[in-house]
Structure 1
């Protein structure tokens, strides 16, 4: 049994999923669910108000998604740890979530005991990754310089190539300017460049654009 009660915020756009998770955690004296959110924007507001130990975060939600919310929670310096709980384990989902500041990443088919263990570990600041995600990340680390751009990074780069400003990119993609800058920093690193012009030139040279 945990030494203290771990407080949670559940973030998912499906009410049935939220109800199921709430019921699961309510059945254990080790956890207390403080609230629920249906999208990323609501999650950020509630996390600031409720101050949970752990945020269980879905990634793909209408409106404001999980990655943008994780980045905003990180930017605001909130103490909560974010444990991603999603159906997806693709590179375009996994890597941006972890880069944005997620403490862990589990798939929704994880057994109850594994989920409980992951939440306890996340509350202590430990990294928690499902085996499939861990092996995927290791393969990326082993091939520096050849790391593919995520779907969102490609979208940002395509808009940069059209001469779009950070503010305009944020408006088009429904994300914050801070998130745009984060994506730019990541894709600069992956392409081995330091500015927008060089990024576009290298992207065309490698066939990423056009």
Structure 2
């Protein structure tokens, strides 16, 4: 059975960027660019009639920013995953995009393999931030509040950031999977987060990873 193609939609006010992305993805059988737009205000209406798996969006656009577009898309089409594309990796902008609900953030100087890796990881249910973006997040000013986490919980957060499964974490720490799951529940409760994206954002802000 042939796997269905992943449907992509590209939003950028610069046609050259749109054309470049389409060119990079044209020969990739797994992906199909089902729509493009230079006008973020038109995107919502287009998404109502065009099934999309991943939306690739610029951040600095006239009339509606990538942050605003992400918020609206995630509210009206929560199943659509969003990959942010930007020329810059500014900490505050990255944080706003994460809060809005993105699944990934890469810079526009990323090569084809980096783009494909980001799409693959997002499709697998992970979040993806390019190395430059991750470094910028780690520069963010920490806030207070990590004292409520135990050393073991901090250790587990760092292993989660490395995308280890509960079993892998259990094997590495010589504890049971059930114990790992208990730690994870406590971590989410203490950090007041409900998703891996939220937990990673918390971890970056508090310089845990």
| 2:92 corresponds to | 92
Is the CA contact 2:89–2:136 (under 8 Å) kept in the aligned structure 1?
Answer: no
| 1:29 corresponds to | 29
Is the CA contact 2:9–2:36 (under 8 Å) kept in the aligned structure 1?
Answer: yes
Deviation at 1:25, TM superposition (A): 0.9
Aligned residues: 144
| 1:43 corresponds to | 43
Deviation at 1:19, TM superposition (A): 1.1
CA spacing shift, 1:28–1:6, aligned 2, 3 Å? same
Deviation at 1:78, TM superposition (A): 2.9
After superposition, residues 117-136 of structure 1 pair within 5 angstroms as 117-136=117-136
After superposition, residues 142-161 of structure 1 pair within 5 angstroms as 143-145=142-144
* SS of structure 1 residue aligned to 2:106: strand
Deviation at 1:3, TM superposition (A): 4.5
C-alpha distance in structure 2 between counterparts of 1:8 and 1:43, whole Å:
13
Deviation at 1:39, TM superposition (A): 3.0
* SS of structure 2 residue aligned to 1:49: coil
1:79-124 CA distance string (max 9 Å, x none): 1100001101112321111110010000011110110111122223
Is the CA contact 1:40–1:68 (under 8 Å) kept in the aligned structure 2?
Answer: no
Deviation at 1:64, TM superposition (A): 0.9
Is the CA contact 1:84–1:102 (under 8 Å) kept in the aligned structure 2?
Answer: yes
Is the CA contact 1:6–1:120 (under 8 Å) kept in the aligned structure 2?
Answer: no
Q: TM-score, normalised by structure 1?
A: 0.63
Is the CA contact 1:39–1:66 (under 8 Å) kept in the aligned structure 2?
Answer: no
1:150-197 CA distance string (max 9 Å, x none): xxxxxxxxxxxxxxxxxxxxxxxxxxxxxxxxxxxxxxxxxxxxxxxx
After superposition, residues 102-181 of structure 1 pair within 5 angstroms as 102-140=102-140, 143-145=142-144
Structure 1: state its 5+ residue gaps: 147-210
| 2:54 corresponds to | 54
Which segments of structure 1 move beyond 4 Å, counting only runs of 4 or more?
Answer: none
CA spacing shift, 1:39–1:21, aligned 2, 3 Å? same
| 2:81 corresponds to | 81
| 2:72 corresponds to | 72
Deviation at 1:40, TM superposition (A): 2.5
* SS of structure 1 residue aligned to 2:33: strand
C-alpha distance in structure 2 between counterparts of 1:55 and 1:108, whole Å:
15
Pairwise CA RMSD: 2.0
